Structure 1
Amino acid sequence: MMRKILALATALALAGCVTVAPGPYDRVDQLRPGETSRAQAEGIMGRPNVVTELGDGTVLLSWTASGLTGYEVASVLFGRDGQMIRVQQKTMGSTF
């Protein structure tokens, strides 16, 4: 019984040491309208989960992440020239 308690205490202590990589909500702040290209954005954010080509030639890239405690969404609009126009959506929510 004491071994189980010790194992649980150790697991909980180690869980507190785990670092989580920044999700799209945090990384999108590194992008700059008029300066960041689509390729640069994908280098910073990773491969987008959704790519939406709009009728006017612009492209909306969306990144999502979810875990046990919540979710994050970041969507960025790019012009026909491949340059960032603006952050369209930046959302963080809890699953509780």
Structure 2
Amino acid sequence: MKKLMIVVAMFALTACASHGTRFDMADVEAMQPGVTTYDEAVQKLGKPKAQNFAADGSKTVTWIYATALGARGTKIAFDKDGKMVRIMSKVE
């Protein structure tokens, strides 16, 4: 019985571990190309996991939130002026 309790406790601790900033995919869906800015995206989705910059000043930004129970993420392109171009990918 004691071993079972230890296993259950270990699983519970692992399930609580997370990586990234929690965000709602509905906020991603509400973003509009040419309207939503990079700053607005960060305000809604939190700190991005990665940013890739192009020579023309545009960038691709990745947000990820993962737990032991699953993950979600999105990659969004922004132009040189910081306006959203498009959602490049989503994982729910």
Structure with the larger RCO, 1 or 2 (CA within 8 Å, 6+ apart): 2
Structure-2 residue corresponding to 1:9: none
Alpha-carbon distance in 2 for matches of 1:23, 1:59: 20
Unaligned runs of 5+ in 1: 1-21
Distance 1:24 1:60, change over 3 A: farther
Deviations 1:25-68 (A, max 9, x none): 34311211110011111111111010110233210110001112
The Cα shift of 1:24 comes to 5.1
Structure-2 residue corresponding to 1:68: 68
* Alpha-carbon contact 1:25-1:91 (below 8 Å) kept: no
TM-score (norm 1): 0.66
What secondary structure does 2:86 align onto? strand
Distance 1:24 1:73, change over 3 A: farther
Alpha-carbon distance in 1 for matches of 2:86, 2:30: 12
What secondary structure does 1:57 align onto? coil
TM-score (norm 2): 0.69
State percent identity of aligned pairs. 24
* Alpha-carbon contact 2:23-2:65 (below 8 Å) kept: yes
C-alpha RMSD of matched pairs (Å): 2.1
Deviations 1:67-90 (A, max 9, x none): 122111101000011100000110
Structure-2 residue corresponding to 1:88: 88
Structure-1 residue corresponding to 2:18: none
How many residue pairs get matched? Answer: 73
Alpha-carbon distance in 2 for matches of 1:25, 1:54: 26
Structure-1 residue corresponding to 2:30: 30
